[in-house]
Amino acid sequence: MSRRRSPLLRRGRPLRRLAVSLLFVAVGTGLWHFQARELRDSLVWMGVPEWQQVSPTSFHRVLRNEGFLVGWSDVRVNPLWVSYRLQAVEDPRSGPRPGFRQDWRTLWPIGTDHYAGSGFDRGHLAPNYAIAAVHGRDAQLDTFYMSNMTPQRPDLNRRLWQRLEEVVMDHFVPRFGAVQVITGPVFPEGFLDNVFNRVGFVEVPEAFYKIIVVPAERPRALAFLMPQGVRGDEPLDDFLVSIDELEARTGLDFFPNLPAAAAEALEGRVSTRGWALEEVANRPGRFE
C-alpha cells in the first residue's frame, strides 16, 4: 500500500530542518554572548566605563585583546580607556620586546611610523611588561598594536609614567595579590583643539589618568592624573586625584555597576591608607 504525502508534509521536512538550524544559531549566539560576557568580566571590574553624556567625541567601540580591553575612538583616533587585571605571578618576566604593529580594526590607518618626527612617543596604555608577565606572549604582542598607543611626551612616557607602571607591577600587585587597572588619555576642551591638535590623524591628549583598584568586599582605589609637561622626577603622590575628578575631566563614568553608596566612598576623595605609597613615590626611573 503506497502512502502519498500531502504537500504540507513534504514541505515539513525542510521546515523542520530550518527550525533545527535556527535553534543551533540561537544556542550558538547565546553561548557566544555568554562567553564574550565572561571574557569581559575577567578583564574589567564593575562594568566597562560608560559615558555620562553622548557627544560626537563619545563614539567608541570595544576592541578585545588578549589580556586587556580597549575602548577605541575613531573620532579622537585614540584609545579612550584601557582595562586590565594584574595578578601576582610566581616568576614575573616577559619575552623579548616585539615591534609595533598596525591594527587593521581601526578606521583610520595608523602605521607604526605615524608619530615619526612629531616629538611624541608611542606611549603604551596597556603596558608591555606587566601584561606580558601576567598574561603571556600573545597578550604582550597585542600591547604593541597602534590602537594601544597614544602620543606622550618623552619625559612623561620614559620617566614619570614608567615609574608609575613599575610601582603598579612591582609594589601594588605583590602587596595586594591582584589589582584592576583602568588607564587612558584626557583631552583639552574646545572644538578647535579636537580638530587641529593632532599628530597626523591622532589627537594629542593634554594629560593621562590611571586608576588602580583592589577588588574586595571593601575595595580601595588610587587615581593619578599626569600632564604631558612633567619633568619626570616628581614624587608620584603629587599627581593623586579623586576618581570623581577624573570623571569630570573625561566625561566617563567609571565602574558603572558599583552601588551608589560604595561609589561615593570610593570615588569622592583621595585615600592613600594601606598603599604604602611613600615607600615608592620617589623611586627613581629605570632609564635616567
Which residues are catalytically annotated?
A: 124
CA dist 176 → 25, 216, 228 (Å): 43, 10, 29
Question: Which C-beta is closer to DNA: that of 73 or that of 148?
Answer: 148
Position 104 contacts DNA (CB under 7 A): no
> What DSSP letter does each residue of 75-142 carry, written as one string?
TTTEEEEEEEEEE--SS---------B--TTSSS---TTTTTTSS-EEEESS-HHHHHHHH-HHHHHH
Question: Which C-beta is closer to DNA: that of 162 or that of 180?
Answer: 162
> What pairs with residue 72 in β-bridges?
61, 79
CA distance 45 to 83: 9
Residues 225-254 that bind DNA (CB under 7 A): none
Q: Please list, in sequence order, all residues whose beta carbon lies within 8 angstroms of the beta carbon of residue 80, skipping any fewer than 6 positions away.
A: 49, 60, 71, 72, 73, 184, 185, 250, 252
From 65, 157, 180, 250, residue interacting with DNA (rule: CB under 7 A): 157
Task: Single out the segment in contact with DNA by CB under 7 A; choices: 18-26, 82-90, 122-130, 203-211.
Answer: 122-130
Position 96 contacts DNA (CB under 7 A): yes
Question: Which C-beta is closer to DNA: that of 84 or that of 100?
Answer: 100
Position 287 contacts DNA (CB under 7 A): yes
Task: Single out the segment in contact with DNA by CB under 7 A; choices: 39-47, 63-71, 126-134, 250-258.
Answer: 126-134
User: Beta strand pairing status for 202-203 and 149-152?
Assistant: unpaired
From 162, 183, 228, 250, residue interacting with DNA (rule: CB under 7 A): 162
157 annotated as ligand-binding:
yes
Q: How many CA atoms lie within 13 A of 180 on its CB side?
A: 21
Beta carbons of 84 and 39 less than 8 angstroms apart: no
Position 99 contacts DNA (CB under 7 A): no
Task: Single out the segment in contact with DNA by CB under 7 A; choices: 64-72, 90-98, 212-220, 262-270.
Answer: 90-98
Instruction: Could you list the residues known to form a binding site, using ranges.
Output: 157
Interacting residue ranges for DNA, rule: CB under 7 A: 94, 96-97, 100, 115-124, 127-130, 154, 157-158, 162, 165-166, 169-170, 286-287
Instruction: Could you list the residues known to form a binding site for Mg(2+), using ranges.
Output: 157
